[in-house]
Amino acid sequence: MLRLQLSAVSLCPLVAAIALASAHAARAQQWKPPIDAEQSGISKEILASLHDVQRQYGKDAVMMEGQLLGQAIRSGSVAEAVIAIPGFEERDGRRYVAFKLDTGIIYNDREVTAAARPLRLWTDIVEPSLRKFKTLDLPADGVALVFAYAHKQYADEADLRAHLRDSPGDPELVTFYVLSSDVTELTADRIKGQQLIDRATVLVNGSPTHLVVEPLTPSP
C-alpha cells in the first residue's frame, strides 16, 4: 500500500513536488523525482512514494493524491491528513483505483447534520479535485474515493482541539465510485455536478445514499 501522511505545513512542498512530477511526466514515460529532497523540504521517502504511484498507476494518480490532500486540509482538517492507494476495487463489473483519505476533519454536530456530511465532502473535496482533470488517465474505469472523517458536538475549534486526543468524535466512512468517462463529461461542461453525483455510487458506512447539491443562490 502506498501511503502519504501530511499536515498543512508539509503540504506546500508536496504540491511543488507533484507539479514538477506532472510536468516531467508529460515529457517522459516514467517520472524520476525531479527535485532534491533537502532543497524541496520533501523527505526521500515521500519522493519515493510519489515515484511508486507514478509507476503503478500513472501521473494522474500522483496529481489526484495532491488534489485530495490539499482540498481536505483547506476544508478544515484538524488532525493529520493521510492518503493511501490500497489498490484496485471491483464493483458492478467496473474496475476502480482506490484512494483512501483520512481527512482529519471532525464535523460539528451543532452545525452539520448527518445528511449534510457526505455532501460537504463532495462539494468541498471531491468535485473541486475532479474538476482539475480534463481527462482522467488511470489503468481502470474510474476512481473509488474512500473518505474517513468524524463528527461530534463541540462549542468551537478551540474546544475541539482541547479535547482532540481524548475525544476525537464518532468515525464515519463515505465512498464515492466515479467513472473516468463521467469526469471528462463534467470538465467538458456536458454534464453538471448533480448529474455526476447521479451517475456515481455513494456509500455511507456501506449503505447506498443519494446526494442532492443545493442550488446556488443567484448573485444580486
pLDDT at residue 47, rounded to an integer: 76
β-strand pairing of 81-91 with 2-6: antiparallel
pLDDT at residue 52, rounded to an integer: 86
**By three-state DSSP, how is residue 95 classified?**
strand
Q: How far apart are CA 137 and CA 83, in angstroms?
A: 19
* Inter-residue contact 156 to 67 (CB < 8 Å): no
pLDDT at residue 4, rounded to an integer: 52
pLDDT at residue 3, rounded to an integer: 55
pLDDT at residue 86, rounded to an integer: 93
pLDDT at residue 128, rounded to an integer: 95
pLDDT at residue 6, rounded to an integer: 46
- What are the distances in angstroms from CA 194 to CA 1, 111, 115, 149, 210? 32, 23, 16, 23, 10
Sign, CA torsion 191/124/99/118: negative
pLDDT at residue 8, rounded to an integer: 43
pLDDT at residue 206, rounded to an integer: 96
- What are the distances in angstroms from CA 122 to CA 17, 38, 68, 70? 26, 35, 11, 14
Instruction: Show pLDDT as tens, one digit a residue, over the chain (220 residues).
Output: 555 544 444 454 554 455 444 444 444 444 444 445 454 456 677 777 788 888 999 999 999 998 999 899 999 899 888 899 999 999 999 999 999 999 999 999 999 999 999 999 999 999 999 999 999 999 999 999 999 999 999 999 899 999 998 999 999 999 999 999 999 999 999 999 999 999 999 999 999 999 998 654 444 4
pLDDT at residue 215, rounded to an integer: 58
* Inter-residue contact 80 to 102 (CB < 8 Å): yes
